[in-house]
Amino acid sequence: MLAKFGQIGSKRRLGSILVLLVILPAVFFSVYEFSTLSASEELIAEVYRQQLDVVLFSLNQYSWDVANSWANAIDEILSPNPTTEKERASLLASFLRDNAAIQGLFIAYEGSHSPRIYGPALGSAQPPRLSPAEISAALANESALISRLRELKATGYRKIDPIFITEADGTRSLALVFISGGEEGKPHVIGMVLDAERFVTENLARKMDEAAGDNFLLSVNRKNFGDVVYATGDMGRVEDRQTKDLWLFADHSVAIRMKGTTVEDVVRSRFYRNLALIGLLSIVLIAGVWVVYRTVRREVELAQLKADFVSNVSHEIKTPLALIRMVGETLQMKRVTSEKKKQDYYDTIVQESERLTRLINNILSFSRMEAGKKDYHLQPTDVHELVTGVLKHYQTHLEHEGFTVQTDLDRRVPRILADHGAVSEAIVNIIDNAVKYSRQERFLRVSTGVGGSSVFVDIEDHGIGIEQDQQTKIFEKFYRVSTGLTHDTKGTGLGLTLVRHIMDAHHGSVTVRSVVGKGSTFRLSFPTHT
């Protein structure tokens, strides 16, 4: 019992070690994969960020360059050269025509209350209709910025800055303001009111196409509305992009993503591929572990069965030997006077030595079988004759054991190709088991017949029966049922192994039908040879 517990414990330990050996590396690898995935994604995000910074820098720079060139042109027009106001207005009008992204201009003279407005969209019926009051209010709002621009201008640096002018209905217009003049007269604030969308599509688009190149996609979006003003191509899913604000058009942002399959897609698909591979590998490993576990478990069981076998065989030999010796000595000392008693003693000696012979024959047969040296000489054999012969030989033994023997033998069964001795050995082993594993109801029925294309020999007993899950195991070498009523019956666990081997050699089979407590029927099936 203790040994059994030890065995179960060690089997469990072995199982857990093997499972750990597989599961741990798989878990480690999966965790590693997850961490590299996020690392790769961070790396990609970093690449995007850097690329976006470069693109953004060049777009912003370009916007400033455009704004600067406009400011230069306006400076030029406002310089004292064109003397008349009319001339100046016509120059400004043509400048505005050439640069459609500028909706209009305003000039706020120092000291003057109301700025002067130029341009078709300003003060006209076209929206936005910025009024001088709205412009003044915006400039007053940004007075700090304006004075800073003035200071810078005084040092010789003309800086351009964006401001927003809010209209009565709440819409905001973007104006780039700078300080002009001042050489003669007072410096004044110039504002270029921009149509941001037009600037993007007409001025920035070319630059964006250039910056995007073959690998990236770029778009400028309105931040508040989320719509695209211009895109170099289909930007795809929002998650695949990175965005940053434009300096000049603060209410617009630039988005970037990879063209075609994104690096994320590649990384993600590689990740899922790896994960699938790990899964597959784990399944293969688990299957391998299972096979190893089963093999090792079988070996452990076999070792245990072999150990049991030695003790069983010693017992099996000792019992009849002791009986023979005791009966022999009694006879030797001439203590038995009655002839009937003497006869009983002689019978015991014969039966016990027969039992010993059977046991030793079984062991020898088994060792020959294991060494692959058990030979079979198959020749046409009359099954009826063979079975009746065996039964006749065992009749006294069975009667002595208190058995009722019933036969149902079909004389007409065709001859089979068989090794007479081996088949007798198989039948004897099964009968022997019927004797060993029967209790009160000692009944044996042997029948023969033809079923399909085979000849069968059925041996039925009303013994203890065999549990369903044990019914295949009993044919394994050394295997003995260790539960239920078999406990107290000694045996070697070789009998049915030999039967199976013999039947295999005859290209036949041995099967069992059994109900615990009711009995068992073993069937030997032989192919018919016509």
- Determine, following the binding rule CB under 6 A, whether residue 474 of this chain makes contact with ligand ADP: yes
Cα–Cα dist 224/132, whole Å: 27
Nearest 5°: phi and psi at 446? -115, 125
Nearer to ligand ADP, 99 or 429 (CB): 429
- Determine, following the binding rule CB under 6 A, whether residue 495 of this chain makes contact with ligand ADP: yes
Nearer to ligand ADP, 22 or 459 (CB): 459
Q: Give CA angle at 121 (95, 220), nearest 5°.
A: 85
DSSP 19: H
Burial 304-339 (b: 16+ CB within 10 A, else e): ebeebbeebbeebeeebeebbeebeeeeeeeeeeee
Rg of the chain (C-alpha set): 53
Query: Could you tell me which stretch among 28-36, 104-112, 365-373, 426-434 binds ligand ADP (CB under 6 A)?
Result: 426-434
Task: Give me the 77-96 binding string for ligand ADP, x by CB under 6 A, dash otherwise.
Answer: --------------------
Cα–Cα dist 252/133, whole Å: 26
- Determine, following the binding rule CB under 6 A, whether residue 492 of this chain makes contact with ligand ADP: yes
Out of 131, 353, 486, 511, name the contact with ligand ADP by CB under 6 A. 486
- Structural tokens at position 422: 């081996």
Cα–Cα dist 340/50, whole Å: 114
DSSP 251: T
Min CB(376)–ligand ADP separation in Å: 19
The kind and range of the H/E element at 434 are helix 420-436
Nearer to ligand ADP, 70 or 475 (CB): 475
Min CB(363)–ligand ADP separation in Å: 11
Min CB(314)–ligand ADP separation in Å: 14
Out of 493, 500, 510, 524, name the contact with ligand ADP by CB under 6 A. 493
Min CB(434)–ligand ADP separation in Å: 5
Residues 428-467 that bind ligand ADP (CB under 6 A): 429, 433-434, 436-437, 461, 463-466
Query: Could you tell me which stretch among 224-232, 303-311, 317-325, 488-496 binds ligand ADP (CB under 6 A)?
Result: 488-496
- Determine, following the binding rule CB under 6 A, whether residue 481 of this chain makes contact with ligand ADP: yes
- The residue number with the shortest CB distance to ligand ADP is 491
**Residue closest to 123 by CA, chosen among 98, 146, 96, 145:** 96
Min CB(484)–ligand ADP separation in Å: 8
**Which residue type is seen at 428?**
V
Query: Could you tell me which stretch among 102-110, 123-131, 377-385, 472-480 binds ligand ADP (CB under 6 A)?
Result: 472-480
Nearer to ligand ADP, 115 or 463 (CB): 463
Min CB(447)–ligand ADP separation in Å: 16
- Determine, following the binding rule CB under 6 A, whether residue 320 of this chain makes contact with ligand ADP: no
Task: Tell me the three state secondary structure of residue 474.
Answer: helix
The kind and range of the H/E element at 107 are strand 102-108
**Longest Cα separation, the chain:** 166
Q: Give CA angle at 443 (510, 311), nearest 5°.
A: 65
Residues 203-222 that bind ligand ADP (CB under 6 A): none
Bridge partner list, 108:
189
Query: Could you tell me which stretch among 67-75, 129-137, 381-389, 475-483 binds ligand ADP (CB under 6 A)?
Result: 475-483
CB 104 within 8 A of CB 119: yes
Task: Report the length, in residues, of the chain.
Answer: 530
DSSP 167: -
Count other C-beta atoms under 10 Å from residue 39's C-beta: 11
Min CB(481)–ligand ADP separation in Å: 3
- Determine, following the binding rule CB under 6 A, whether residue 308 of this chain makes contact with ligand ADP: no
Nearer to ligand ADP, 127 or 484 (CB): 484
Residues 6+ apart with CB under 8 A from 298: none
Work out whether the CA dihedral 23, 26, 32, 33 comes out positive or negative: negative
Min CB(282)–ligand ADP separation in Å: 39
The kind and range of the H/E element at 193 are strand 188-194
DSSP 185: S
Out of 355, 480, 501, 506, name the contact with ligand ADP by CB under 6 A. 480
Min CB(461)–ligand ADP separation in Å: 5
- Determine, following the binding rule CB under 6 A, whether residue 146 of this chain makes contact with ligand ADP: no
Nearer to ligand ADP, 195 or 461 (CB): 461
Min CB(497)–ligand ADP separation in Å: 6
Residue ranges binding ligand ADP (CB under 6 A): 429, 433-434, 436-437, 461, 463-466, 474, 479-481, 486, 491-497, 520
